[in-house]
């Protein structure tokens, strides 16, 4: 009788061991669920990653605009390059390359991404600072920050400088104004 009870106990232990594992079907279902969740989350993650990279351009161009305004107040002219601003801004990063564009002529200084974004999924940014004595009645500087609506903008400058006509610079077609 002792052997029969021992055999029965061994069967119970063996059955318990089999019930503790996962079947192949259960593992496949879990892997499929993880795949679906990651396919939903990945685009959101990439979008947030691009927003962080674009924030770099907004920060650098905004700081450059403010530095140009201070530079003009001190010297009565705009700086012709970023190094002259004296604020230790990198002219090139992993995502963008920045430069002062003097083609608009005085009294406008345009700071823009000269290479377009190196990552084709990023939008381009342009900033401009100009002297406004017409609209305010006193000599002051006004800045503008423009962002391309698409990842590859049609017009590389992004800003139309209207200083010669006495009106302020505006963002070009295909660009959104982020602030003055």
**CA dihedral angle for residue 49, residue 52, residue 53, residue 56, rounded to 10 degrees:** -170
Q: Distance between CA 42 and CA 50 in Å, rounded?
A: 12
Domains present along the chain, CATH in parentheses = 58-179 (3.30.700)
Tokens 């962002």, residue located: 147
Return averaged pLDDT per consecutive 10 residues of the chain, 180 residues in all: 71 66 88 92 81 85 87 85 82 81 65 61 82 67 82 59 57 77
The tens digit of pLDDT for each residue in 136-153 reads: 567 777 888 888 887 765
Q: What is the model's pLDDT at position 75?
A: 85
Tokens 């403010």, residue located: 66
Alpha-carbon Rg for the chain in angstroms: 30
Tokens 């290479």, residue located: 115
Q: What is the model's pLDDT at position 109?
A: 65
pTM for the full predicted model: 0.66
Strands 159-160 and 170-171: antiparallel
Residues across the chain: 180
Q: Which ranges in the chain belong to alpha helices (H)?
A: 2-19, 24-75
Q: What is the model's pLDDT at position 117?
A: 54
Q: What is the model's pLDDT at position 32?
A: 95
Q: Distance between CA 162 and CA 179 in Å, rounded?
A: 17
Q: What is the model's pLDDT at position 150?
A: 77
Q: Distance between CA 71 and CA 6 in Å, rounded?
A: 93
Q: What is the model's pLDDT at position 28?
A: 93
Task: List, in order, residues 6 or more apart from 102 with CB less than 8 Å away.
Answer: 78, 80, 109, 110
């Amino acid at each position: 009788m002792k052997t029969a009870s021992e055999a029965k106990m061994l069967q119970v232990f063996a059955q318990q061991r089999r019930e503790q594992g996962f079947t192949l079907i259960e593992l496949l279902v879990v892997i499929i669920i993880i795949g679906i969740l990651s396919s939903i989350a990945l685009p959101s993650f990439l979008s947030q990653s691009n927003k962080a990279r674009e924030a770099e351009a907004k920060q650098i161009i905004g700081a450059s605009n403010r530095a140009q305004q201070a530079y003009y107040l001190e010297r009565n002219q705009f700086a012709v390059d970023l190094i002259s601003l004296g604020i230790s801004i990198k002219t090139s990063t992993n995502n963008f390359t920045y430069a002062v564009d003097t083609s608009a002529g005085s009294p406008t200084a345009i700071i823009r991404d000269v290479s377009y974004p190196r990552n084709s999924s990023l939008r381009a940014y342009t900033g401009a600072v100009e002297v406004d004595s017409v609209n305010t009645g006193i000599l002051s500087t006004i800045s503008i920050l423009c962002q391309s609506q698409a990842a590859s903008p049609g017009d590389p400058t992004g800003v139309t400088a209207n200083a010669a006509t006495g009106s302020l610079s505006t963002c070009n077609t295909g660009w959104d104004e982020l602030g003055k």
